[in-house]
Amino acid sequence: MKAVIFDLDGVVVYTDAYHYKAWKKLSDDQGWAFDESLNDQLRGVSRMASLQVILDHNGIDLPEEKKVELATRKNEDYRAFLAGIDDTALVDGALDFIRALRTRGVKIGLGSSSKNAMMVLEKLGIDSLFDEIVTGKDISRSKPDPEIFVKGAQRLGVEPAETYVFEDAVSGVDAAQAGGMVAVGFGPSEGLDHADVRVMRFADLDVDTFVATGKPA
Question: 7 an active-site residue?
Answer: yes
- Kindly name the residue from 9, 77, 168, 174 that is annotated as catalytic: 9
Helix (H, G, I), strand (E, B) or coil at 181: coil
Let me know: does 186 contact 199? Beta carbons within 8 Å.
yes
- Which residues, 6 or more positions from 10, have their beta carbon under 8 angstroms from its beta carbon? 16, 43, 91, 168, 169, 186, 187, 189
Instruction: Note if 35 is an active site residue.
Output: no
User: CA-CA distances (angstroms) from residue 184 to 21, 121, 175, 210?
Assistant: 28, 22, 11, 11
What's the angle, vertex CA 52, arms to CA 116 and CA 14, rounded to 5?
35
Kindly report whether the peptide bond that precedes residue 160 is cis, defined as omega within 30 degrees of 0.
no
| Catalytic annotation, pick one of 7, 77, 168, 174 | 7
Cβ atoms 204, 217 nearer than 8 A: yes
- Read out DSSP for 131-154? SEEE-GGG-SS-TTSTHHHHHHHH
Interatomic CA distance for residues 168 and 7, integer angstroms: 8
Catalytic residues: 7, 9
